[in-house]
Amino acid sequence: MIAKGRKRKEPLDIQMSLRFKFGPEPADVITVMDDKSVPMVGSIFEHRDRIVRGFATLLVKNSLSSPKVIRELFPAFRVMKGRK
């Protein structure tokens, strides 16, 4: 008797929105993805390191586009700005 292998599952198609909120004002919200189709293939546990690295990269890139966040991350810029 030959054992049957497990059937390959079809990839899930997920609609994803991703926003970062860097402050209390509505202008402090940066939308990275808005209802974008993201196919999920395989197990999230197989790719968790790549997913976390990608999320962290998105967070840093988008935070650098907000002047409020830059001032919080690099307080030395405030000191240098006042020395002119």
Type and span of the H or E element at 12: strand 12-21
| pLDDT, mean of residues 67-84 | 68
Tens of pLDDT along 20-63? 888 888 888 888 888 888 777 777 777 788 888 888 888 888 87
Question: With contact defined as beta carbons under 8 Å apart, do 28 and 64 qualify?
Answer: no
DSSP codes, 21-47 = E-SSSGGGEEEEEEEEEEEE-S-TTTS
- What is the DSSP secondary structure assignment for residue 17, as one 8-state letter? E
Supply the pLDDT for residue 80.
Answer: 61
Question: With contact defined as beta carbons under 8 Å apart, do 39 and 12 qualify?
Answer: yes
Supply the pLDDT for residue 4.
Answer: 66
Nearest residue to 60 (alpha-carbon basis) of 48, 51, 69, 71? 69
